[in-house]
């Protein structure tokens, strides 16, 4: 007979900690929404690259670095820097979420 490994939510329900189980479920919803921040950060980085290149006359992605789009003297500095700032914010949220969630769920599968 094989013993099933219980998830954290199932263990909380078994011991009668319904308040803790509800709190855990609310945290799971928050985690699911925060996971989207990683996808959103990629979208903002692509927008930084595409829209910055559109606003930079004669920009050649084969011979110039992406950092040229956000150089202080570049014509696309303002628009590309705004998208890059949003990318950094959402990337930080995703990274912080991973940092705080990985040790907690190390044993749960």
Of 85, 91, 84, give the one whose Cα is nearest residue 35: 91
* pLDDT given at position 88: 94
Give the pLDDT band of residue 102 (cuts 50, 70, 90).
low
Residue 26 lies in a domain: no
66, 53 contact by CB (below 8 A): no
Looking at residue 29, its pLDDT comes to: 66
Residue 76 resides in a domain: yes
Count of domains in the chain?
A: 1
What is the crossing angle of helices 18-54 and 77-101, to 10°?
150
The top-scoring range by mean pLDDT among 4-8, 19-23, 30-34 is: 30-34
- pLDDT, residue 31, reads 72
Assigned domain for 81 exists:
yes
- Domain containing 78 equals 35-103
User: Taking the chain, what is the end-to-end CA distance rounded to the nearest angstrom?
Assistant: 20
pTM comes to 0.65
CB atoms < 10 A from the CB of 64, how many? Answer: 14
């Amino acid at each position: 007979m094989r013993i099933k490994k219980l998830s954290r939510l199932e263990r909380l329900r078994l011991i009668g900690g319904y308040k803790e189980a509800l709190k855990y479920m609310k945290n799971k919803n928050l985690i699911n929404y925060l996971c989207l921040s990683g996808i959103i950060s990629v979208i903002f980085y692509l927008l930084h690259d595409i829209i910055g290149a559109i606003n930079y006359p004669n920009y050649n992605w084969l011979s110039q670095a992406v950092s040229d789009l956000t150089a202080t003297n570049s014509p696309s500095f303002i628009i590309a820097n705004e998208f890059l700032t949003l990318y950094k914010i959402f990337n930080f949220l995703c990274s912080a979420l991973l940092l705080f969630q990985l040790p907690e769920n190390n044993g749960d599968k």
